[in-house]
């Protein structure tokens, strides 16, 4: 419906231009044809348009990781980390079209070393966040997004020299809150978009062996125990933060970012944390999706982001 | 809106205030000593049992060994003191590994007769023995099959076991010799044991620590041996043991001991019934320790070994004649003499 109003507005403007006799006659004819032939079709597509604008971004990055798993060692391990992030965002029809949906898929891998440099661990985690954000627009260029989030994680930390506790599996997920600030501004007519996002898990479940339980007991003997525990802020105080800056370079929108990923848990008397600080770089594509797999690139200003 | 931002900031601050970290300070002799003592205190599974067995008091050990720790001691001295401390546990599964060396409690076999000689064993194997996927087998002159399993560290193939047992099917009985087998993978040991039962048998229980207190344990869970789908041995079996049959081999001997056609011959096993875990201290030295005890079906601990049905040591007279007293005894048991 909003698009229809926009068309009507253009129509009025076009007629005004026509009155000034500064537009070729064939353009006026074309516009009249469009206005007479297409309104029904535009109305039919209108409700789809807003939800078919999609922002996609891909980023890769590297940084620092601090891993701590008392199931493996009482020491903290530190070292480099690489990260991949894929994000999509589009508007939904929820709450009068004010709610956007965000998919944020991240994968990171680290190679860390203990303080005495005598041992290493390999770590990796796949994370998927799906968030529905209500978009507030309190001021020009500023958006504040807030809403619920689904958070799923799977990964492993492998210690190179341990005997029957060589690795700790990471599998946890749940519901949480997600907030975002998006601010569009210009510096000397150069458009920039800055975004800060924080995802906070609030309630979920986590897999964990018991304090001194081996994976041999769980999987080979089938003797589990309290291996799935409920989590909340008291035993899983974690936070993922994402700061990005979008800027155009030619026809491409580039994105640089910083990820501060703090994952912590204290379950079954086992403590763990993974602190990641990564700098990211990537590209953003704003698309309009058609039925099937077809899509069309749209200008950066048309985006649910 | 400010209110929401304020809430968000408070939440973020609360998260940073609730960092989950370990309280380890520095890499001094004192901090390494405390770290090692704490690992054992919280994670070692036999502190209560060994207190009952021989009066081990881990708090008293702390008091006694703390006096030997000084801030200016060398790494070699620290290693020596810490090795002595963990040897108080009398556990072959407890090893402190460093660039200086790996500590090992050896009294569980050093204080007893060795009861095995590979040169004497070669007199029995002859020249026609077969090596097959980690096991060595032969048919002795009196038509007794003989399998020697040196280690469970490497897997034993199902096909190899089928072929071996099929080849030994003509024998009147079988000796499974696990002397000097220091252990390896429990699954490998259980795979071999599964060849000697036709039904699912309860062979023991296993449990683990659920918290840092000395008595934080899970309920013991039963452990069963399921019969193998491959060729299974149906005739009498003797398992030969000595003090160096340890860890996963101790578990194998316990499993075999639950089967009706099996007789244990030789010396008491070395024990080592705690599944070992690993950890480390700030200086990077690795510590291995028992984490999950295994029990027999009567809930008895196996940490200090399993007694044989027929106790026999190798005699010096037999050794002088190139005879293995234990193999000879095993043959007599199998022949019903």
Q: Tens digit of pLDDT for each residue in B47-76? A: 999 999 999 999 999 999 999 999 999 999
A223–chain B Cβ distance below 8 A for any pair: yes
Of A36-50, A196-210, A275-289, B211-225, the one with minimum mean pLDDT is A36-50
Average pLDDT over residues A145-149: 96
Average pLDDT, rounded, for chain B: 93
What is the mean pLDDT of the segment spanning B208-223? Answer: 95
Give B319-335 pLDDT, tens digit per residue.
Answer: 999 999 999 999 999 99
Residue of A nearest to B210 (CA): A211
What's the predicted TM-score (pTM) here? 0.85
| CATH fold of B111-194+229-269+304-333 | 2-enoyl-CoA Hydratase; Chain A, domain 1 (3.90.226)
CB-based contact, A220 to chain B, within 8 Å: yes
CB A163 to CB B277 under 8 A? yes
User: What is the pLDDT confidence band of residue A47, given thresholds at 50, 70 and 90?
Assistant: very low
Report pLDDT for B128.
Answer: 86
The count of other CB atoms within 10 Å of the CB of residue A107 is 15
Say which range, A10-14, A72-76, A87-91, has the weakest mean pLDDT: A10-14
Tell me which chain B residues have a C-beta less than 8 angstroms from the C-beta of A159.
Answer: 278
Note the pLDDT of residue B46.
97
Q: What is the 3-state secondary structure (H, E, C) of chain A?
A: CHHHHHHHHHHHHHHHHHHCCCCCHHHHHHHHHHHHHCHHHHHHHHHHHHHHEEEEEEEEEEEEEEEEECCCCCCEEEEEEEEEEEEEEEECCHHHHCEEEEEEEEEEEEEEEECCCCCEEEEEEEEEEEEEEEEEEEECCEEEEEEEEEEEEEEEEEECCCCCCCEEEEEEEEEEEEEEEEEEEEECCEEEEEEEEEEEEEEEEEECCCCCCCHHHHHHCCCCCCCEEEEECCCCCCEEEEEEEEEEECCEEEEEEEEEEEEEEEECCEEEEEEEEEEEEEEEEEEEECCCCCEEECCCCCCCC
Nearest to B177 by CA among B138, B137, B149, B144: B149
How close does chain A come to B277, measured CA to CA in Å?
Answer: 5
Which positions 256-275 of A are in contact with B (Cβ < 8 Å)?
A: 262, 264-266, 268-269, 271-273
Are B233 and B257 a contacting pair, CB within 8 Å?
no
Q: Which of A71, A166, A212, A268 to mutate to test the interface with B (most CBs of B within 10 A)?
A: A212
Backbone angles phi, psi at B209, to 5 degrees: -80, 140
Read off the pLDDT band of A32 (50, 70, 90).
very low
pLDDT for residue B50: 97
Q: Are A264 and B209 in contact (CB < 8 Å)? A: no
pLDDT surpasses 50 at A27: no
Overall average pLDDT of the A243-269 stretch: 95
Please state the ipTM of this predicted complex.
0.89
Give the model confidence (pLDDT) of B135-172 as tens digits: 999 999 899 999 999 999 988 999 999 999 999 999 99
Residue length of chain A: 305
Determine which of B75, B91, B182, B278 to mutate to test the interface with A (most A C-beta atoms within 10 Å): B278
- pLDDT score of A33: 40
CB contact under 8 A, B218 and A262: no
* Span B267-316, pLDDT tens digits: 999 999 999 999 999 999 999 999 999 999 999 999 999 999 999 999 99
Window B:63-82, CB contacts with A under 8 Å: none
Sign of CA pseudo-dihedral B260, B264, B268, B271 = negative
**Domain residue extents for chain B:** 28-107, 111-194+229-269+304-333
Q: Does B111 score more than 70 pLDDT?
A: yes
What pLDDT is recorded for position B298?
97
Q: Contact at 8 Å (CB) between B56 and B50?
A: yes
Give me the mean pLDDT over the A240-260 stretch.
Answer: 95
Q: What is the pLDDT of residue A287?
A: 82
Measured CA to CA in angstroms, residue A289 lies from A44, A53, A304, B16 at distances of: 16, 7, 13, 41
Residues of chain A in contact with residue B286, where contact means CB-CB under 8 angstroms, are: 118-119, 161
Task: Using a pLDDT cut of 70, give the percent of chain A over it.
Answer: 80
The span from the CA of B187 to the CA of B185, in Å, is 5
CB contact under 8 A, A198 and B8: yes
**Partner B contacted by A139 (CB < 8 A):** no
Per-residue pLDDT band at B193 (split at 50, 70, 90): very high
Residue B226 reports pLDDT greater than 80:
yes
Reported confidence tier of residue A273, pLDDT bands at 50, 70, 90? very high
A144 contacts A108 by C-beta, under 8 angstroms: no
pLDDT at A25: 46
Q: For residue A8, is pLDDT > 50?
A: no
Mean pLDDT of all residues in B11-27? 69
CA distance B166 to B207: 37
The percentage of residues in chain B with a pLDDT greater than 90, rounded to a whole number, is 87
pLDDT at A225: 87
* Percentage of chain A modeled with pLDDT above 90: 69
């Amino acid at each position: 419906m909003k698009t229809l109003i926009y068309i009507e507005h253009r129509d009025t403007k076009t007629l005004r231009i026509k009155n000034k006799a500064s537009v070729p006659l064939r353009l006026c004819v074309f516009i009249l044809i469009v206005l007479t032939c297409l309104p029904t079709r535009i109305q039919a597509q209108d409700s789809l348009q807003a939800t078919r604008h999609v922002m996609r971004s891909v980023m890769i990055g590297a940084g620092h990781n601090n891993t701590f798993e008392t199931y493996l060692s009482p020491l903290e391990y530190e070292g480099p980390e690489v990260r991949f992030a894929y994000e999509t965002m589009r508007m939904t029809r929820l709450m009068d079209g004010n709610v956007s949906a965000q998919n944020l898929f991240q994968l990171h891998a680290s190679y860390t070393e203990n303080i005495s440099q005598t041992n290493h661990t390999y770590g990796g985690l796949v994370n998927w966040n799906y968030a529905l954000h209500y978009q507030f627009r309190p001021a020009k260029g500023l958006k504040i997004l807030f809403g619920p989030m689904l958070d799923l994680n799977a990964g492993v930390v492998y210690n190179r020299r341990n005997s029957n506790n060589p690795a700790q599996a990471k599998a946890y997920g749940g519901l949480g809150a997600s907030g975002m600030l998006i601010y569009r501004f210009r510096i000397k007519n150069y458009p920039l978009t800055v975004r800060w996002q924080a995802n906070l898990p609030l309630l979920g479940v986590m897999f964990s062996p018991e304090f001194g339980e081996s994976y041999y007991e769980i999987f080979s003997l089938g003797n589990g125990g309290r291996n799935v525990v409920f989590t909340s802020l008291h035993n899983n105080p974690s936070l993922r933060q994402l700061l990005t800056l979008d800027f155009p370079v030619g026809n491409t929108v580039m994105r640089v970012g910083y990820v501060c990923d703090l994952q912590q848990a204290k379950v079954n008397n086992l403590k763990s944390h993974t602190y990641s600080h990564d700098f990211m770089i990537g590209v953003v594509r704003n698309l309009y999706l058609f039925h099937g797999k077809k899509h069309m690139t749209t200008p950066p200003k048309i985006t649910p982001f | 809106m400010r209110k929401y931002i304020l809430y968000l900031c408070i939440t973020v601050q609360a998260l940073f205030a609730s960092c989950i970290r370990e309280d380890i300070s520095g890499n001094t002799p004192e901090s390494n000593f405390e770290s090692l003592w704490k690992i054992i205190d919280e994670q070692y599974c036999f502190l209560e049992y060994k207190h009952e067995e021989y009066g081990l008091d881990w708090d008293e050990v702390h008091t006694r060994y703390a006096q030997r720790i000084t801030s200016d001691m060398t790494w070699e001295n620290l290693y020596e003191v810490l090795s002595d401390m963990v040897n108080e546990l009398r556990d072959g599964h407890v090893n402190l590994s460093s660039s200086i060396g790996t500590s090992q409690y050896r009294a569980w076999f050093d204080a007893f007769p060795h009861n095995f000689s590979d040169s004497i064993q070669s007199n029995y194997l002859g020249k026609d023995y077969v090596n097959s996927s980690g096991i060595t087998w032969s048919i002795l002159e009196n038509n007794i099959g003989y399998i020697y399993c040196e280690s469970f560290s490497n897997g034993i193939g199902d096909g190899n076991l089928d072929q071996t047992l099929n080849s030994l099917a003509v024998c009147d009985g079988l000796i499974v010799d696990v002397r000097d087998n220091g252990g390896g993978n429990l699954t490998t040991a259980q795979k071999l044991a599964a060849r000697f039962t036709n039904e699912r048998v309860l062979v023991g229980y296993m449990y683990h620590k659920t918290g840092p207190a000395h008595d934080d344990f899970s309920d013991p869970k039963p452990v069963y041996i399921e019969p193998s789908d491959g060729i299974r041995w149906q005739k009498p079996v003797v398992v030969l043991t000595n003090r160096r049959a340890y860890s996963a081999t101790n578990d194998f001997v316990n499993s075999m001991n639950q089967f009706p056609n099996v007789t244990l011959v030789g010396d008491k096993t070395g024990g080592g019934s705690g599944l070992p875990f690993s950890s480390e201290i700030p200086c990077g030295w690795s510590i291995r320790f028992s984490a999950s005890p295994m029990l027999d079906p009567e809930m008895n601990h196996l940490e200090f070994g399993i007694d044989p049905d027929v106790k026999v040591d190798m005699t010096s007279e037999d050794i002088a004649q190139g005879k293995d007293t234990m193999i000879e005894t095993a043959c007599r048991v199998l022949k019903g003499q």
